Amino acid sequence: MTTDTFETEFIKANEAIQKAIDAVSSYIVGQEETLEEVFWTIFAGGHALLEGLPGLGKTMLVKTLSNALQLSFSRIQFTPDLMPSDITGTMILQKNEQGSQEFQFHQGPVFSNFVLADEINRATPKTQSALLEAMGEKTVTIMGKTQRLEEPFFVLATQNPLDLEGTYPLPEAQLDRFLCKIHVPSPSKDELKEIAKRTLMKEEIQVPAVMDQNMVIHIQKLIQSIMVSDEMLEFASLLIMNTSPEYETSPAEIKEFVRYGAGPRGMQSLLRLAKARALLSGRFHVSIGDLKRVALPVLRHRLYFNFEGEAAGISADELIQKCIDSMG
């Protein structure tokens, strides 16, 4: 691809994403930062964990996204009695045309472009981990047979805060599969009024389809071409190192309250999301501002507190901000 062709494709991609954001915003009230971070995640080819209190529109946000991007959508309601086969599908013994019996695979709801894992922390860890292979390898293996998931594939999971009754902490291996963890804030007074107007009106708002499956895949490939200089790699690697207590440059609070920090996957996720932000901002390269802006959603679920950190009640966001501030 020549430079001129790349620039033309880049401009088209940026315009298409802006149209998609506008389309979703025509129905979803507020949540500008949340929506922005979800779009970064989608075009970076990752999965997102949305955390917020019940009733904040997390499910509606994901469904609206699938309509705007013209991607297949399935919703899995996670409950304590949900089984792994309810997610991935199962082999069923059926008669074939010759009259003999054979096992046939029946696909579960994970076989969609958009998989909404609703209230994922209400299911047991065994069921939660049924998504691990799908999220990591984009395949599902049942009775030794591997099925490949259709591209693009995203898991957007919603989660209620862990202090609510009837929830289970996500396994660390599963948390690490999420490219980022996005906080969904409570609406302001004006936003509450606008939500009531839009959701209680007689005529339902139709979200226009502004993109398709091929365009989403094309933009994901374009984002891989966004440049990352050695200076940006140096900044990103130092930021990741500063989240771990064993490094000399780590802030005092990290050494006091953190047991383990982010690792190589955290570094990869930081750069992937920064590239997506750069494209949405109309730039061909990653900047320090990109890395600082994406650090919170990328790293907040990758810090593991020690006993002192748990007792102090300090938030991961505060510690990550300390790491960013310490780098100037």
- The angle subtended at Cα 12 by Cα 72 and Cα 224, nearest 5°, is 70
Q: Which residue has the higher pLDDT, 232 or 192?
A: 232
Q: Which ranges constitute the DSSP H helices of the chain? A: 3-25, 32-43, 58-69, 85-88, 125-128, 132-137, 172-177, 189-200, 213-224, 230-242, 252-257, 264-280, 288-299, 307-312, 316-325
Q: In whole angstroms, what is the distance from residue 184 CA to residue 305 CA?
A: 22
Q: What spatial distance separates the first Cα and last Cα of the chain, rounded to whole Å? A: 37
Query: Please, is 146 exposed, middle or buried when counting C-beta atoms within 10 Å of its C-beta (0-12, 13-18, 19+)?
Result: exposed
Q: What is the mean pLDDT of the segment spanning 196-223?
A: 79
Hey, how many other C-beta atoms are within 10 angstroms of the C-beta on 214?
11
Check residue 310 and give its pLDDT. 87
**For range 248-277, the mean pLDDT:** 92
- In CATH, what number does 3-81+113-217 get? 3.40.50.300
Q: Please state the pTM of the whole predicted model.
A: 0.87
pLDDT at 55 over 70: no
Give the pLDDT of residue 204: 61
| Residues 134, 155: Cα–Cα separation, whole Å | 9
Can you give the pLDDT at residue 88?
Answer: 87
Residue 147 C-alpha from the chain's centroid:
23
Rounded Cα distance, 65 and 245, in Å? 39
Q: Identify the bridge partners of residue 139 per DSSP, sorted by sequence position.
A: 148
**What integer is the mean pLDDT of 226-250?**
93
* 120 alpha carbon, distance to own chain's centre: 13
Average pLDDT over residues 134-144: 83
Is 289 a residue whose pLDDT tops 60?
Answer: yes
Are the C-beta atoms of 180 and 297 separated by less than 8 Å? yes
3-class SS of residue 117? strand
Q: How far apart are CA 246 and CA 266, in angstroms?
A: 17
Rg of the chain on CA atoms, in Å = 21
Residue 3 has a pLDDT of: 67
pLDDT bracket for residue 44 (50, 70, 90): very high
pLDDT-based confidence at residue 210 (cuts at 50, 70, 90)? confident
22: left (phi over 0), alpha (psi -120 to 50) or beta: alpha
Alpha-carbon gap, residue 121 to 82, rounded angstroms: 12
Strand partners, 48: 156, 180
The CATH number of the domain covering residues in 228-325: 1.10.8.80
Where do the structural domains in the chain lie, given as residue ranges? 3-81+113-217, 228-325
Q: What angle do CA 215, 114, 118 make, to 5 degrees?
A: 155
With cut-offs at 50, 70 and 90, classify the pLDDT of residue 203: low
pLDDT (0 to 100) of residue 90:
79
User: Is 80 exceeded by the pLDDT of residue 54?
Assistant: no
Please give the mean pLDDT across all residues of the chain: 85
pLDDT of residue 37: 92
